[in-house]
């Protein structure tokens, strides 16, 4: 490489860094060599560079959104056992995983069922699929988020804290039923539900059906208002199956089986 070529190459790297074009910076030299060798027209060379930049930006955006989502590891749709939850339609879940039909409208998804029935797995798996489609998701235990919102209220920052959550197209609240009946806790949860109503979507998992939500919201009017906002434009998935964890424990116990009995040989008298 000539001295002038080295200077030009260094200058290009510097300019691409200043312009924040990491994808092009990563591949331009190799593409330029190929273009020179094969006689590419300028338009083809530029198109290849732009395409590489888009691919790199998409990859970096996915990684950034995956980190901020805080999804539990290993929970994907491929790993979800649909046969164990026959009342859940795989086709319906795959349609929900696209996101377009409901996230654009601020619709909700509610998953009900006993502990260990796969609700959290399904919620996290949908979150992962939606991130892959370019949506922004946050997965959180309901109690954790409620505590943060209570602190924000104490600091007179509740409205700002709720507004900050608007950047997420989907907010996954896991284990709603574990919120206590404290008025202060449930009131911030109600304000969150009201603020996102018809604007931003929520996916909520809960052990109890609506009839038991009086245990979560001590105020009857608040209970009815919360349910009304959540159910309007909502898809409800009932997952009334035996616990995955209980079934796994039973299967493991059966696979181990009982230890063999040892025969005792008595000595002759």
User: The pTM is what?
Assistant: 0.79
> What residues does each domain of the chain span?
3-68, 72-246
Q: What is the pLDDT of residues 20-53, one digit of tens each?
A: 888 888 888 999 999 999 999 999 999 999 998 8
Which CATH architecture fits 72-246? 3-Layer(aba) Sandwich (3.40)
Q: What is the pLDDT of residues 120-166, one digit of tens each?
A: 999 999 999 999 999 999 999 998 999 999 999 999 999 999 999 99
Q: How many percent of the chain have pLDDT more than 70?
A: 86
Residues 191/162, Cβ–Cβ less than 8 Å: yes
CA–CA separation, 185 vs 160, rounded Å?
17
Q: What angle do CA 147, 149, 150 make, to 5 degrees?
A: 65
Cα-Cα end-to-end distance for the chain = 99
């Amino acid at each position: 490489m000539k001295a002038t070529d080295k200077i030009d190459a260094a200058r290009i790297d510097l300019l691409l860094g200043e312009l924040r074009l990491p994808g092009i910076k990563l591949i331009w030299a190799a593409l330029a060599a190929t273009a020179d060798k094969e006689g590419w027209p300028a338009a083809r060379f530029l198109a290849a560079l732009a395409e590489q930049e888009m691919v790199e930006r998409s990859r970096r955006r996915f990684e950034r959104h995956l980190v901020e989502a805080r999804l539990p590891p290993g929970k994907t749709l491929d790993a979800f056992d649909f046969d164990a939850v026959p009342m859940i339609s795989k086709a319906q879940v795959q349609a929900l995983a696209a996101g377009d039909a409901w996230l654009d409208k601020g619709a909700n998804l509610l998953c009900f069922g006993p502990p260990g029935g796969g609700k959290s797995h399904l919620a996290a798996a949908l979150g992962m699929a939606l991130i892959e489609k370019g949506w922004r998701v946050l997965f959180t235990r309901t109690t954790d988020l409620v505590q943060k919102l209570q602190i924000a209220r104490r600091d007179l920052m509740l409205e700002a804290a709720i507004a900050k959550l608007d950047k997420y197209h989907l907010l996954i609240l896991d284990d709603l039923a574990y919120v206590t009946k404290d008025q202060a806790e449930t009131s911030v949860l109600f304000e969150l539900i009201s603020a996102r109503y018809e604007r931003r979507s929520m996916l909520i998992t809960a052990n109890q059906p609506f009839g038991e939500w009086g245990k979560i919201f001590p105020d009857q009017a608040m209970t009815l208002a919360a349910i009304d906002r959540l159910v309007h434009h909502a898809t409800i998935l009932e997952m009334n199956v035996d616990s995955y964890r209980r079934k796994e424990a039973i299967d493991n116990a059966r696979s181990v089986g009982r230890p063999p009995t040892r025969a005792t040989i008595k000595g002759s008298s």
